[in-house]
């Protein structure tokens, strides 16, 4: 379990730009070291804001897009192409603008796909895809993700792991169906904590004053079922990327000198 690091940026836009630059560098380093990289994307405004900033970055094509595996931390269980799906939004923000290898882009199933409306079957299908991509030395039957990104909800949820929900308690399966999500739509697919914690690095993104309470709770009162973001950590790094508004309620010892 890696101790959370906190980096605070002036505002939401700068946080997205700085996080995008950080992701480019992390991918380039992984590709230089191992010939490929593996990243888990998150939905939500901050996750998509990062992707949009990356699309505009002058360093964007330092990434070898054909040698990048892209996965999702969660997905809204909606029909293919629905504008509310995380993969739809990721494609609009970045993926349609870069030459990714379609075989290495791994969206979670839509509700009108191969598994039909059976969200548990769709979750099991994604778990099988992850297991097939895992190497022998990998943890939890998922690939050794270089970076797994997570937006943080105002209730401290990450992915589609909501406080006190069954999916948040799952300790065996790597992917589950989620019903009755407090954040619409109600039905989702989500990685679980065993899958999240198999990542080398976990980056949590939060901007805006509506996240200040969640950030302070998650970083000071660990209890992953009550505050799921507190249970999201990487094997070698856990990084909280915030803007000043989201950091405003952090205890002083956790609030570093505000970065640019
Ligand atoms: O499918 C989703 O909605 C996301 O994966 C979800 O976990 C999101 O990241 C958080 O709710 C934060 O969303 P915002 O960044 O929009 O606040």
ipTM of the complex: 0.98
The per-residue pLDDT for 256 is 64
Q: Distance between CA atoms of 159 and 150, rounded to whole angstroms?
A: 6
- Which domains does the chain possess? 4-254 (3.40.50.1360)
Q: What order of strands is seen across the sheet that includes strand 237-243? A: 4-9, 237-243, 201-206, 147-151, 37-41, 68-72
Asked if residues 190 and 178 have their Cβ atoms less than 8 Å apart, the reply is yes
Each residue's pLDDT tens digit, 168-194: 999 999 999 999 999 999 999 999 999
User: Could you tell me the distance, in angstroms and rounded to a whole number, from the CA of residue 86 to the centre of ligand 1?
Assistant: 9
- Each residue's pLDDT, cut to its tens digit, for the chain (260 residues) gives 778 999 999 999 999 999 999 999 999 999 999 999 999 999 999 999 999 999 999 999 999 999 999 999 999 999 999 999 999 999 999 999 999 999 999 999 999 999 999 999 999 999 999 999 998 776 779 999 999 999 999 999 999 999 999 999 999 999 999 999 999 999 999 999 999 999 999 999 999 999 999 999 999 977 999 999 999 999 999 999 999 999 999 987 776 665 54
Each residue's pLDDT tens digit, 192-203: 999 999 999 999
Pairing relation of β-strands 74-76 and 188-191?
Answer: antiparallel
Residue 128 DSSP one-character state:
H
How many other C-beta atoms lie within 10 A of the C-beta of residue 221? 11
User: Could you tell me the distance, in angstroms and rounded to a whole number, from the CA of residue 255 to the centre of ligand 1?
Assistant: 23
Q: Which two tokens stand for residue 245?
A: 């508004």
- Number of helices and strands in the chain (H, E): 8, 9
Give nearest CA residue, ligand 1 atom 11: 153
Give nearest CA residue, ligand 1 atom 7: 159
């Amino acid at each position: 379990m890696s101790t959370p690091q906190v980096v605070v940026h002036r505002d939401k836009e700068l946080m997205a730009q700085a996080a995008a630059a950080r992701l480019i560098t992390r991918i380039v380093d992984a590709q230089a070291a191992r010939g490929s990289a593996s990243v888990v994307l998150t939905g939500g405004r901050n996750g998509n804001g990062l992707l949009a900033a990356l699309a505009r970055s002058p360093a964007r094509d330092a990434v070898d897009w054909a040698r990048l595996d892209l996965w999702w931390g969660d997905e809204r269980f909606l029909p293919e192409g629905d504008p509310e799906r995380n993969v739809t939004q990721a494609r609009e923000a970045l993926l349609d603008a870069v030459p990714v290898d379609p075989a290495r882009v791994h969206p979670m199933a839509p509700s009108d796909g191969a598994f039909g409306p059976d969200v548990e079957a769709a979750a099991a299908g994604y778990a099988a895809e992850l297991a097939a991509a895992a190497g022998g030395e990998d943890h939890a039957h998922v690939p050794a993700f270089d970076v797994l990104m997570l937006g943080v909800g105002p209730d401290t949820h990450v992915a589609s792991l909501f406080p006190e929900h069954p999916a948040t308690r799952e300790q065996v399966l790597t992917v589950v169906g989620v019903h009755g999500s407090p954040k619409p739509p109600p039905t989702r697919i989500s990685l679980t904590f065993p899958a999240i914690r198999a990542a080398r690095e976990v980056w949590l993104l939060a901007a805006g004053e509506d996240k200040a309470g969640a950030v302070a709770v998650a970083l000071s009162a660990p209890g992953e079922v009550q505050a799921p973001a507190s249970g999201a950590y990487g094997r070698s790094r856990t990084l909280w990327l915030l803007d000043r508004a989201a950091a405003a309620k952090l205890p002083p010892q956790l609030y570093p000198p505000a970065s640019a």
